[in-house]
Amino acid sequence: MTVSKGCTGRCKAFRRVIFPFVAVLCGMVFTVPQATAQTPLAGPGAGFVRPDRSGTISAVKGDVYTLTSRRGDVTVTIPESAAIERSPEGKASRADLKIDARIGVFGTEKEDGTFTATRVVLLPERPNTARRPETYTPKLSAEELAASAAKLEKNTPQITLDTTGAPDLAGFAGRAKAICEAYYPFITAYLHTEGFTPPTKFSQIYREMDGVAYTAGSECHFAAAWFRNRSDDYGAVVHEMVHVIQSYRGNNPGWLVEAVDDYIRFYHFEPVIKALNFTADRVPNEPQAYQIGAQFLNWAQTEYDKNLVPDLNSAMRKGQYSDDIWKQKTNKTISELWSEWRSTLPSGKPKS
Residues of the chain with pLDDT under 50: 3-50, 126-140, 145, 149-150, 273-274, 350-352
Per-domain residue ranges for the chain? 5-29+149-344, 53-125
Q: What are phi and psi of 73, to 5 degrees?
A: -85, 145
- 83-118: pLDDT as tens digits: 888 765 667 888 888 887 888 888 887 777 788 888
CATH fold, domain 53-125, is OB fold (Dihydrolipoamide Acetyltransferase, E2P) (2.40.50)
- 266-322: pLDDT as tens digits: 887 775 534 567 888 888 889 999 889 999 999 999 899 888 999 999 999 999 999
Counted residue by residue, the chain has a size of 352
Residue 18: what pLDDT?
38
Tell me which long-range contacts 321-328 makes (C-beta under 8 A, separation of at least 24).
Answer: 321/250, 321/252, 321/253, 321/256
Kindly tell me the sign of the dihedral angle through the C-alpha atoms of 92, 94, 95, 98. positive
Residue 67: what pLDDT?
85
Residue 275: what pLDDT?
57
Fold agreement between 5-29+149-344 and 53-125: no
- Domain 5-29+149-344 sits in CATH 1.10.390: yes
Contact between 299 and 221 (Cβ < 8 Å): no
> Which one-letter DSSP state was computed for residue 280?
G
